[in-house]
Each structure stands twice: as structure tokens, then as C-alpha cells.
Structure 1
């Protein structure tokens, strides 16, 4: 094993050890970047790495061997989601009543409807121009599914030994004709 592979393995160790665990405490939620602290030995502001330095984190001291030409750090890559672990996730179906298109997405129990809408925008860039409804009722976009009385039936399906993806709660989107001329 070469030196590059050994360094890479050492830098992957904190991430592998944290696999499946909440690492949100590694990041500053306001700036969406690695937390920093003042090193007591040098007085320099350095990244906070409680489990050791990991991939894309510079060494604490100047080092000519460290290549910083890797592009975007992994925690800023939109294909990864760094956040707080959800207590429970579930799948919901979102039906666009204008186009009859359906999308199934996995949502966290803690997500409010505007957060779900933000994630749904990749399927429909105009989703904010729709009224979101469930069972004929307008949904409060500042509340969660549960707070909007959209019950999670997963436990009932489990108790009945039924496949829980046979029936998904569905939210219907009704287009608001807001294209009027003034």
C-alpha cells in the first residue's frame, strides 16, 4: 500500500466510523460548512474535527503535500444530504392534478410542507404556484404532514403484514391560475 492510499484510508476513517450516524454537530448550520475553533497551541482558526481530520479538510499546519485542487468538498455537494437524523421517514405520493403526473418521495416526519415543496421543485419548478391539498383540505405549508392531519399508517400496515407501499398517502397539487394580466 502506497503513501497516498494510507493517507486516504486515514482520512476516510472518521467518515466510515460515523456511517449511519448523525454528524450534524460537525457543521455550522448557519453557513453550511465545517465548524471551526481556535487551536490552543497555534491560536489559528482551524476546522473542528472531533474524530480526526477527514477528506477535504486541510492539515492543521502548512504542508506542501496537501493538494487542494479536489473541487467542491463532499459536504457542499448537493447529492449528499448532511443534516439531523429523522425520527421516522415515510413515502408520500404527490399528484399534479393539472398534468396527472405522480411522484413518490421520501419525507422526514420533522419536515414542514415548504421543505417538502422545496425538494419537489426538481420535479416541477412551478410547484409553489399550486395549492397543496389533502383529502380536499388546503394544507398549512408551515406544518408537518402529521400536523396537517396526514396520518402515518406504516405501523398499521406492519401489524397487518401488508406491503406499506401498496397504499401511499397522496397530496394533490391544484394549479393556481396566477398568470392574469393587469
Structure 2
């Protein structure tokens, strides 16, 4: 049973949900679980483009200003229609009127907030977490927007008592409600890239110092 659902997800985390029975996509900075949609329309040919997009970002399907599917002037009808070069999909009307197409489905899936599960991280970061009590070290990929508390929850599979430690960077206690940048843990990836250096060789380290109490999530 999942006790905690993150607010932010990395593209890598979205990419593992790439099957009909576990189908996530991201678009316009948000992450959506379309598994219920895939189950509801199982066997429908119009599901194919969505299945092919499983685990991917489909922001290019949308007009960022209107938050709706891209449109164009249809050369056959000279009318404004949805533009779907990847193939027509669920809730997209046919190019010409058809008696067998039901349009009573309500809101199209891309306007339904019920599928939203979180926010797509604008940038991920790699950090080392070192337990000074056991000398164990773990490398984590985290979302740059996440607070230290949220990073702690990512670390729980490695240490269920992570909240019983004081978290420090360069000897300074971290504010658990702030993110890495707010805690002055710099993101120097771009600088290392410009210098032709391997940023992974300079991954910042957060040191954990054990307290007396044992806190377990």
C-alpha cells in the first residue's frame, strides 16, 4: 500500500508507466494516469495513438495557449479541425459527420482533472545521501522543486528511520521545508557541461547524523 504520493515526477518516473494496464503520459507540465481511460476503451482503434504515447510527454499535441489539442484548417472541409498527425484518438471527432460516432461523452479526456496525478519536474538533480552512522551512501535522482521532506520520503526505502537523522550540507542543518536550491545546495550541471566536465563526479552530498529518537514513516 502506497503511503505517500509525490507531488513531482521526473520524466524517467513517468516513462516506466508504459503499458495498457499502467499508462501514464505528461503534457503541459502535468502528469496524468490514463490507465482508466485505456481500460474503458480497450479494443478501440482510437486508443492506438494513446497506447503508443504511453510513458511519454505529449505536449506537442497541444496548443500551450488554449490548453487544447492543436488545430488546423482541414483541406477537405475547409473547417477548423483538431490536428492529429499521430492519428485520430479517443474523443477526437471524425473529419466528416458520421452517424455512428457518439459525442455524448461529456468532457474530453485531456480536459479531465481526474486523471492528473502530479506535476512534471522542470529539472531533476542527482544527490548523494550519506548515513554517517553506517557509512552507507545512496545516489538519488530527485526533482529540483521538491522539499527536503519530499526527498526524505524518496530515501525511505533505504532507511525507514530517515526522519531520526539531522540532515546537513557542508555542516549546516537543512531546512526540511525548503528545496535544494533554497538550502544553498547549488545546481552546477550547466557550468560543468560548459567546462566539459562530468557533473556526476561532483554530485553534492547530504550527510545524515543520527538522533536519539527512532522515527518511522
Question: In which range does the TM-score fall when normalised by the shorter chain?
Answer: 0.5 to 0.7
Offset from partner CA, 1:53-81 (integer Å, 9 cap, x none): xxxxxxxxxxxxxxxxxxxxxx8xxxxxx
Where does structure 1 lack aligned partners over 5 or more consecutive residues?
1-5, 26-39, 52-74, 76-81
Taking a change above 3 Å as real, the CA distance of residues 131 and 22 of structure 1, as seen in their structure-2 partners, is farther
- How far 1:10 moved relative to its partner? 4.1
1:84 positional shift: 1.5
* 1:133-172 → structure 2 map (5 Å cutoff): 133-172=168-207
Query: Which of 138, 160, 166 lines up with 1:131 in the alignment?
Result: 166
Alpha-carbon offset, residue 21 of structure 1: 2.1
Are 2:52 and 1:16 equivalent residues in the alignment? yes
Shift of 1:19: 4.5
Give TM-score, length-normalised by structure 2.
Answer: 0.52
Distance change >3 Å, CA 11–CA 170, structure 1 → 2: same
Cα drift, residue 113 of structure 1: 0.5
Question: What are the ranges of 5 or more consecutive residues in structure 2 without an aligned counterpart?
Answer: 1-41, 60-66, 68-102
Q: Tell me if the contact between 1:22 and 1:85 (Cα under 8 Å) persists in the aligned partners.
A: no
Shift of 1:150: 0.3
Quick one: distance in 2 between partners of 1:106 and 1:177? Answer: 28
CA–CA distance in structure 2, aligned partners of residues 113 and 47 of structure 1 = 38
RMSD: 3.2
1:77-133 per-residue CA deviation (whole Å, 9 max, x = no partner) reads xxxxx5311111110000000000000000111101000001100110000111000
Trace 1:85-100 onto structure 2 (pairs within 5 A). 85-100=120-135
2:110 maps to which residue?
A: 50
Matches of 1:12 and 1:143 in 2, distance apart? 42
